[in-house]
Amino acid sequence: MDRQEAITESLKLVERSAVCMVGTITEDGFPNIKSIFNLKHDGFKRFWFSTNTSSRRVKQLQNDKRGCVYFLDEILGQGLMLVGTIEILQDIESKKLLWTEKSEKYYSFGTEDPDYAVLCFTAAQGNYYHELSNVDFEIK
Protein backbone atom coordinates (compact mmCIF):
# COMPACT_ATOMS: atom_id res chain seq x y z
CA MET A 1 0.00 0.00 0.00
CA ASP A 2 1.49 3.37 -0.99
CA ARG A 3 0.84 6.80 0.50
CA GLN A 4 -1.77 7.77 -2.09
CA GLU A 5 -3.79 4.60 -1.54
CA ALA A 6 -3.62 5.12 2.24
CA ILE A 7 -4.95 8.68 1.84
CA THR A 8 -7.75 7.61 -0.52
CA GLU A 9 -8.85 4.79 1.80
CA SER A 10 -8.56 7.05 4.86
CA LEU A 11 -10.94 9.56 3.32
CA LYS A 12 -13.44 6.83 2.45
CA LEU A 13 -13.27 5.51 6.02
CA VAL A 14 -13.89 9.01 7.43
CA GLU A 15 -16.83 9.55 5.05
CA ARG A 16 -18.65 6.38 6.06
CA SER A 17 -18.01 6.60 9.85
CA ALA A 18 -20.91 7.90 11.94
CA VAL A 19 -18.74 7.95 15.06
CA CYS A 20 -15.06 8.09 15.88
CA MET A 21 -13.00 8.00 19.08
CA VAL A 22 -11.33 11.04 20.58
CA GLY A 23 -8.20 10.64 22.69
CA THR A 24 -7.27 13.27 25.29
CA ILE A 25 -4.91 13.50 28.30
CA THR A 26 -6.10 13.79 31.91
CA GLU A 27 -4.59 16.29 34.34
CA ASP A 28 -2.54 13.46 35.87
CA GLY A 29 -1.24 12.36 32.47
CA PHE A 30 -3.39 9.34 31.65
CA PRO A 31 -4.87 8.85 28.17
CA ASN A 32 -8.69 8.93 27.92
CA ILE A 33 -10.91 7.74 25.05
CA LYS A 34 -14.51 8.50 24.25
CA SER A 35 -16.64 8.09 21.14
CA ILE A 36 -18.03 11.18 19.47
CA PHE A 37 -20.32 11.79 16.50
CA ASN A 38 -18.44 12.49 13.26
CA LEU A 39 -20.48 15.59 12.39
CA LYS A 40 -18.43 17.74 10.03
CA HIS A 41 -14.97 17.63 8.53
CA ASP A 42 -12.78 19.23 5.90
CA GLY A 43 -10.91 16.27 4.36
CA PHE A 44 -8.93 14.96 7.26
CA LYS A 45 -7.21 18.20 8.13
CA ARG A 46 -10.04 19.55 10.32
CA PHE A 47 -12.98 18.03 12.21
CA TRP A 48 -15.77 19.63 14.21
CA PHE A 49 -17.52 17.80 17.04
CA SER A 50 -20.10 18.82 19.61
CA THR A 51 -19.78 18.13 23.33
CA ASN A 52 -20.98 19.32 26.73
CA THR A 53 -19.05 22.31 28.07
CA SER A 54 -19.25 20.67 31.52
CA SER A 55 -17.70 17.42 30.24
CA ARG A 56 -14.47 15.88 31.43
CA ARG A 57 -13.10 16.16 27.92
CA VAL A 58 -13.48 19.94 27.83
CA LYS A 59 -11.69 20.27 31.20
CA GLN A 60 -8.87 18.07 29.91
CA LEU A 61 -8.53 20.09 26.71
CA GLN A 62 -8.40 23.37 28.64
CA ASN A 63 -5.32 21.93 30.36
CA ASP A 64 -3.73 20.12 27.37
CA LYS A 65 -4.93 20.52 23.80
CA ARG A 66 -3.02 17.55 22.41
CA GLY A 67 -5.43 14.95 21.05
CA CYS A 68 -6.07 12.21 18.54
CA VAL A 69 -9.05 10.98 16.56
CA TYR A 70 -9.43 7.33 15.57
CA PHE A 71 -11.68 5.74 12.95
CA LEU A 72 -12.20 2.00 12.81
CA ASP A 73 -13.85 -0.41 10.42
CA GLU A 74 -13.81 -3.52 12.57
CA ILE A 75 -15.21 -5.76 9.81
CA LEU A 76 -12.69 -4.78 7.13
CA GLY A 77 -9.76 -4.45 9.54
CA GLN A 78 -9.11 -0.82 8.57
CA GLY A 79 -8.12 1.93 10.97
CA LEU A 80 -7.06 5.56 10.78
CA MET A 81 -5.48 7.54 13.58
CA LEU A 82 -5.04 11.28 13.26
CA VAL A 83 -2.89 13.16 15.79
CA GLY A 84 -3.06 16.91 16.39
CA THR A 85 -4.61 19.53 18.64
CA ILE A 86 -8.16 20.34 19.71
CA GLU A 87 -9.59 23.83 20.26
CA ILE A 88 -12.76 24.51 22.27
CA LEU A 89 -15.09 26.88 20.40
CA GLN A 90 -18.02 28.66 22.05
CA ASP A 91 -18.97 31.21 19.39
CA ILE A 92 -22.50 31.08 18.07
CA GLU A 93 -21.43 30.58 14.41
CA SER A 94 -19.54 27.39 15.24
CA LYS A 95 -22.46 26.15 17.35
CA LYS A 96 -24.96 26.81 14.55
CA LEU A 97 -22.68 25.06 12.07
CA LEU A 98 -23.11 21.71 13.82
CA TRP A 99 -26.72 22.05 14.97
CA THR A 100 -29.13 19.34 13.80
CA GLU A 101 -32.52 18.13 15.01
CA LYS A 102 -30.78 15.51 17.15
CA SER A 103 -28.75 18.15 19.03
CA GLU A 104 -31.70 19.07 21.23
CA LYS A 105 -31.48 15.76 23.03
CA TYR A 106 -28.10 16.85 24.40
CA TYR A 107 -28.44 20.64 24.60
CA SER A 108 -31.97 21.47 25.64
CA PHE A 109 -31.50 25.27 25.50
CA GLY A 110 -30.63 25.21 21.79
CA THR A 111 -27.61 26.74 20.09
CA GLU A 112 -27.20 29.23 22.93
CA ASP A 113 -27.11 26.50 25.60
CA PRO A 114 -24.04 27.35 27.75
CA ASP A 115 -23.45 23.59 28.14
CA TYR A 116 -23.01 23.22 24.36
CA ALA A 117 -19.46 23.51 23.03
CA VAL A 118 -17.80 22.75 19.71
CA LEU A 119 -14.45 20.99 19.47
CA CYS A 120 -12.28 21.73 16.45
CA PHE A 121 -9.58 19.14 15.86
CA THR A 122 -6.69 19.98 13.53
CA ALA A 123 -4.66 16.98 12.35
CA ALA A 124 -0.90 17.11 11.84
CA GLN A 125 -0.13 13.44 11.24
CA GLY A 126 -2.00 10.35 10.12
CA ASN A 127 -1.53 6.61 10.33
CA TYR A 128 -3.69 4.35 8.20
CA TYR A 129 -3.65 0.58 8.32
CA HIS A 130 -5.46 -2.23 6.58
CA GLU A 131 -4.80 -5.65 8.07
CA LEU A 132 -0.99 -5.83 8.29
CA SER A 133 -0.17 -2.89 5.96
CA ASN A 134 0.55 0.38 7.68
CA VAL A 135 1.31 3.87 6.31
CA ASP A 136 2.25 7.11 8.12
CA PHE A 137 1.65 10.47 6.47
CA GLU A 138 1.95 14.17 7.26
CA ILE A 139 -1.17 16.34 6.95
CA LYS A 140 -0.64 19.91 5.73
CA quadruple 27, 33, 34, 39: dihedral sign: positive
Site for a copy of itself in 41-60 (CB under 8 A): none
Secondary structure (3-state) at 12: helix
Residue 119 in the binding site for a copy of itself (CB under 8 A): no
Q: What is the CA radius of gyration of the chain?
A: 15
Residue 83 in the binding site for a copy of itself (CB under 8 A): yes
| Among the listed residues 3, 87, 92, 106, the single contact to a copy of itself using CB under 8 A | 106
Is residue 57 within 8 A of residue 64, CB to CB? The reply is: no
Residue 97 in the binding site for a copy of itself (CB under 8 A): no
Q: Which stretch binds a copy of itself (CB under 8 A): 5-13, 68-76, 87-95, 113-121?
A: 68-76
Beta bridge partners of 24: 32
Residue 29 in the binding site for a copy of itself (CB under 8 A): yes
Phi, psi angles (nearest 5°) of residue 37 = -70, 135
Residues lying near a copy of itself in the complex (CB under 8 A)? 18-19, 21, 23-26, 29-35, 64, 66-68, 70, 72, 74, 79, 81, 83, 105-106, 132
